[in-house]
Amino acid sequence: MTKSPTERERQSMVTQQLAARGITDPRVLEAMSRVPREFFVPAASRHLAYADSALPIDCGQTISQPYIVALMTEALELSGDEKVLEIGTGCGYQTAVLAELTPRVYTIERHADLSRAARRRLESLGYDTIHYRVGDGTLGWPEEAPFDRILITAAAPSIPESLWEQLREGGIAVAPLGGAWSQRLVALRKEHGEPVERFLCSCRFVPLIAESGDSQEETGA
């Protein structure tokens, strides 16, 4: 069967941007090859859907670079039935990739408009097992805890304590940590209640904002 131009772009993204840079988990590569990224970017940016870069979306947020999405997803070490909490639904692209890998995805977005649009988009694509919440992501989803994995798509100096408490022992949290100008993407495994850190790469994410409106970034960074 002949592939469409967007399907060819998607496959090129997987081979040239992901596999060529060391993404090796076959389930992650397959998930990235299935999710139609062009549906998650603004219409004006659709021609850049598979570009090797982050792109702006509504509410001053961004859709992450494909490589970063794949790197964060691979670092979660998903085998297929983990309960995953995502902080920052955004446009829903990362959510879709997670939903390709586990049926138990819980996602929180503080911007109601973004959450509603992402839900419509994801449900139209057949992702019907995702749980959505509008609110303060720094508080997590305590009534659904514990979570096997937590993925945070905005930067803070450290993982909020409420989220760390909702991660089960032996679980993994992936997050960008740091201030406005210097961040590191890390995977933190919870061992005896303490974080064991694995550095993934340097990065630049929008700040994690609490319901109070306070940025979780380091002051003056």
Residues in CB range of 26: below 8 A, 6 or more apart: none
User: Does residue 135 form part of some domain?
Assistant: yes
DSSP-assigned letter for residue 164: H
In this model, does residue 217 exceed pLDDT 70? no
Say what the pLDDT of residue 8 is: 95
Q: How confident is the model at residue 177 (pLDDT cuts 50, 70, 90)?
A: very high
Long-range contacts, stretch 10-14, CB < 8 angstroms, 24+ apart: 10/36, 10/37, 10/50, 12/50, 13/37, 13/50, 13/52, 13/66
Of the ranges 98-107, 132-141, 175-184, which one carries the lowest mean pLDDT score?
175-184
Say what the pLDDT of residue 50 is: 97
pTM: 0.93
What is the number of domains present in the chain?
1
User: Does residue 27 form part of some domain?
Assistant: no
Mean pLDDT of 7-22: 97
Say what the pLDDT of residue 210 is: 85
User: Does residue 172 form part of some domain?
Assistant: yes
Strand partners, 176: 185
In this model, does residue 218 exceed pLDDT 60? no
Q: pLDDT tens digits, residue range 26-81?
A: 999 999 999 999 999 999 999 999 999 999 999 889 999 999 999 999 999 999 99
β-pairing, 83-87 vs 104-109, is parallel
Residue 150 near residue 195 (C-beta atoms within 8 A): no
| Known catalytic membership, residue 45 | no
User: Does residue 12 form part of some domain?
Assistant: no
User: Does residue 45 form part of some domain?
Assistant: no
User: Does residue 22 form part of some domain?
Assistant: no
For the chain, percent of residues with pLDDT exceeding 90: 88
Question: Which of 168, 137, 163 has its CA nearest to residue 61?
Answer: 137
User: Does residue 168 form part of some domain?
Assistant: yes
Structural domain boundaries enclosing 157? 52-203
Mean pLDDT of 124-133: 98
d(Cα 146, Cα 86) in Å, to the nearest integer?
13
Q: What is the CATH number of the domain that holds 83?
A: 3.40.50.150
User: Does residue 60 form part of some domain?
Assistant: yes
Catalytic residue among 33, 53, 64, 115: 64
Say what the pLDDT of residue 221 is: 19
